Structure 1
Amino acid sequence: MLDCGCPENRSAGVSRRTLFRMAAVGGLTTASTVSGATLAFGAPAGTGTLVVLSLRGGFDGLSAVVPVGDANYAKARPGIQVTASQSLKIDSMFGLNPAMQPLLKLFQNGTMAAVHAVGQADPTRSHFEAMAEMERAAPDSNLRTGWIDRTLGSLGDPGGFAGSQVGSGSMPDSMIGPNAKFAMNSIAGVKLSVGEDLVPLARWRSAMKTLHTGAAPELSAPMTNALGAVGKMSTLNKATSKSVKELGYPETALGNALHDVARLIKADLGLRVATVDYGNWDMHVNLGKATSGAWMYRQLEEMSKALAAFAAELGTEALNRTTLLTLSEFGRRVAENGSGGLDHGHGNVVLALGGGLNKGVHGKWPGLAAGNLVDGDLASTTDYRSIVSEVLKKRVGVDSTTDIFPGYKPKTVGLA
């Protein structure tokens, strides 16, 4: 925590000199970033929320939602396959990796579903380029904003917490742009570095009101917005909440982030789109068999426990107005490599969690026969923008995605 350099006299108010000194060293808030010109706290409550869980590193969808009914799958992966007997059956074609046992009931009751063979319009095997294009979501255009920023813009003035990155103080490329959004490492981390026992939040607000008398909004808004965020998060942080362990989450960064997202949703702060990152999917070597302790198994097990706990913490009412989607920059090759891993590929799976979903695995399955592959990869039959468009319209309340995904006409996926 930053040293504020404040005077020893704790009864003192906030002097102009102290105010500037603390602001200069970044002593106002920690572990948070506010972007955009205006943050209107207390946005309309009861609106739906899209949560984007970014699986960074190139998630292998074929290891998660496994096409055990396609004979070519086992032939392509003799060393790392999930066998039909190991998989958790969804239908005649697909089964879940056994590490995803915590999610099986959610698939069975319609709280979870999947879309397979998902990809981008202009695929690449570069992590950086593929993720940048996915988050910009405007191929063949000169737009430099991200699709989440454009979504927030389409909602008018949805409020300062409408777009929130949780688990990291930096925002993803999907949030680049002029509309207000918020990033935090954690709810507990959004606070005054100096401590309210030394300089209470009310004194900060009074001092800033005096300091900014007559100031243009672009000058006064950053500090006003930051103080508003501190107040909201402080109240939420003081509210009674079970620990991640008590709620069944893994005690990891992912578990903590999803727990915070659940708290934000249930607090009705007007959250419309939240983003959470979960990496370590770049498994070129030693992906492992579908048994406890293997790399892929561990990753899927942690994610599955976190998602199951997230659904349970939300409860029926909040879950019915929430949809979580997993997105990754690309999938992996169909055939395993000589190191017991998988190289960069294209076609992938998108997992969906929330209320109002249609059961099963959606999308046209292209098959894994050699003639159906694209340069050794699973062919993409569904553009990820169609999935996101469907959720934005049915869950978030977006009227049209024409300006969000310019030049693209979404197709019906049937997920939500």
Structure 2
Amino acid sequence: MTSPTTVPAPTLDACGCPEGRAVSGVSRRGVLAGATALGAAGATIALASPAEAMTRLTFADAGYTGDTVVVLSFRGGIDGLSVVAPVGDPAYYTARPTIAVPQARGLQLDARFALHPALAPLLPLYTSGKLAVVHAVGQPNPTRSHFTDLDEMERAAPGSSVRTGWLDRMVGATTTPGPFAGTAIGGSTTPRSMLGPSAELAMRSVDSFSLSGAWDATETTRWSTALRALHADAPDVVGAPARTTLGTLSTVAALHTAGYTPAGGAAYPSGGLGDALRDTARLVKAGVGLRAVTIDSGNWDMHTDLGRSDNGWMARQLTEVGKALAAFMTDLGTAADRVTLVTLSEFGRRVSENGSGGVDHGYGNFSFVLGGGVVGGSVYGTWPGLAPANLQAGDLKATTDYRSVLGEILEKRCGLTASTVLPGLPSARLGLLRARP
């Protein structure tokens, strides 16, 4: 039961703009779905026992020694001025008399910034140096359009003719990627960032990933045997995707049979985000060869009824985020030393609240970077201020190109030449990561 002063969280069907409704759930573009893994990667994997398949898939990834990069996308344009509130900037309270995070309630990060109180589980990660914050982040050419800015963010090649997604290019730049190298978790389609020639995998969850039409283990074995025989003499262009798919299914079947209990007493919240992060930790620790993972979190298009810091739509959404990210890091344990998670969103929100208690499409935003290689405990970036004269058409300016954050991850944690993945990458780096030994 909610208190009389609590406004139930609106849904996008009720409050979001039409573009927000379209991008905040499953990605508009899908390349692979369900239990399909296409492409040349892992083409030599034939149907085997679950143990054999897992061994082969792990061995296929032996050429890569970098981090698994986890990209958590807040689709719909999350309001960074609520998530990491500039409580030391007086203009913040002038612009947001109703929805600003009160300074007394914010979780102080430094003299200027405070986390939203719903993110209390993340504060220990910040103080222990596992979480860094970058503020005033954005794209070079913002449009305030969900569709356009989301596509550009996930293409990450402004001003060029490159059409592939940046994570597809990242996977392609690594050696001998296996079928799990690029994986989208939590949905049945791959996002724009993974569009391209590299093999990518999409799964709603580890335990639901199975051969369509097979209702039990016996049927799965029968279908798998038949499909293996059917493709035995097929040319690689036809047979390789089938063999890869069957080998991938065998690996996932082994994980399903083994079951999973999060480590360290980690307690994931119920819901899609917690489920996806739990499966990510599970796959990381299983050693199946994850290099890039994408996870979507929707319902952030808060044009109305954003709510106060102690209740409402934003507070409830961030409660799930805080619990899920904290559980993920706890569950990983020492495996966090080989994982870097970064959050992105297509744009931020306007500085001034609107008459409906929400905020419209804006520009500058924030990013979280978590992991064992993070130089955390600091808010990075140049703060431009929120006084009217410092704004860009009413929006927070973006003083850090988000690709600079991604580039540092690729260089220091993945051992890649970032400019080959991110054409036109700015040279500036923030120093928020340690290089892998």
SS of corresponding position for 2:153: helix
**Structure 2 residue identity aligned to 1:358:** V
Pairing partner for 1:33 from 33, 36, 57: 36
Alignment of structure 1 residues 14-413 onto 2, 5 Å: 31-39=34-42, 41-42=57-58, 43-44=60-61, 47-192=66-211, 193-199=213-219, 201=221, 204=223, 206-242=225-261, 247-292=266-311, 294-315=312-333, 317-359=334-376, 360-398=378-416, 400-413=417-430
**Structure 2 residue identity aligned to 1:367:** G
**Structure 2 residue identity aligned to 1:278:** S
| TM-score (structure 1 length as normaliser) | 0.88
Deviations 1:233-255 (A, max 9, x none): 011112232279x7311110111
Deviations 1:304-327 (A, max 9, x none): 000001011111x21111111110
Counterpart Cα distance in 2 of 1:356 and 1:190: 31
**Cα distance 1:387–1:243, how it changes in 2: closer, same or farther (>3 A)?**
closer
Q: What do you get for the CA RMSD once the two structures are aligned?
A: 1.8
Give yes or no for contact 1:169–1:185 (8 Å, CA) kept in 2. yes
Match of 1:3 in 2: none
Counterpart Cα distance in 1 of 2:94 and 2:83: 17
Give yes or no for contact 2:121–2:326 (8 Å, CA) kept in 1. yes
SS of corresponding position for 2:245: helix
**Structure 2 residue identity aligned to 1:297:** A
**Cα distance 1:409–1:81, how it changes in 2: closer, same or farther (>3 A)?**
closer
**Cα distance 1:210–1:238, how it changes in 2: closer, same or farther (>3 A)?**
closer
Deviations 1:71-104 (A, max 9, x none): 1111110000101101011111111110001111
**Structure 1 residue identity aligned to 2:35:** S
Give yes or no for contact 2:144–2:362 (8 Å, CA) kept in 1. yes
Deviations 1:160-186 (A, max 9, x none): 111100001100000000101111001
Give yes or no for contact 1:331–1:345 (8 Å, CA) kept in 2. yes
Gaps (5+ residues) in structure 2?
A: 1-31, 44-56
* Percentage of matched positions with identical amino acids: 50
Give yes or no for contact 2:34–2:189 (8 Å, CA) kept in 1. no
Shift of residue 206 of structure 1? 4.7
Shift of residue 349 of structure 1? 0.2
Give yes or no for contact 1:32–1:185 (8 Å, CA) kept in 2. no
Shift of residue 63 of structure 1? 0.3
Match of 2:3 in 1: none
SS of corresponding position for 2:36: strand
SS of corresponding position for 1:69: coil
Match of 1:11 in 2: none
**Structure 1 residue identity aligned to 2:402:** Y
Counterpart Cα distance in 2 of 1:57 and 1:200: 38
Shift of residue 227 of structure 1? 0.7
Deviations 1:39-78 (A, max 9, x none): 3533335641110000000011110111111111111100
Deviations 1:197-230 (A, max 9, x none): 43353x5555444433442111101211111111
Counterpart Cα distance in 2 of 1:267 and 1:47: 16
Shift of residue 32 of structure 1? 3.0
| TM-score (structure 2 length as normaliser) | 0.84
Counterpart Cα distance in 1 of 2:188 and 2:274: 17
**Cα distance 1:54–1:237, how it changes in 2: closer, same or farther (>3 A)?**
same
Shift of residue 156 of structure 1? 3.0
SS of corresponding position for 1:254: helix
**Structure 2 residue identity aligned to 1:212:** H
Gaps (5+ residues) in structure 1?
A: 1-28
Counterpart Cα distance in 1 of 2:217 and 2:295: 32
Give yes or no for contact 1:131–1:329 (8 Å, CA) kept in 2. yes
Counterpart Cα distance in 2 of 1:243 and 1:113: 24
**Structure 1 residue identity aligned to 2:41:** T
SS of corresponding position for 1:34: coil
Match of 2:17 in 1: none
Counterpart Cα distance in 2 of 1:113 and 1:329: 20
**Structure 2 residue identity aligned to 1:366:** P
Which of the pair has more CA radius of gyration?
Answer: 1
Counterpart Cα distance in 2 of 1:367 and 1:62: 12
Match of 1:6 in 2: none
SS of corresponding position for 1:402: helix
Shift of residue 397 of structure 1? 2.4
Counterpart Cα distance in 2 of 1:391 and 1:228: 30
SS of corresponding position for 1:323: strand
Shift of residue 354 of structure 1? 0.8
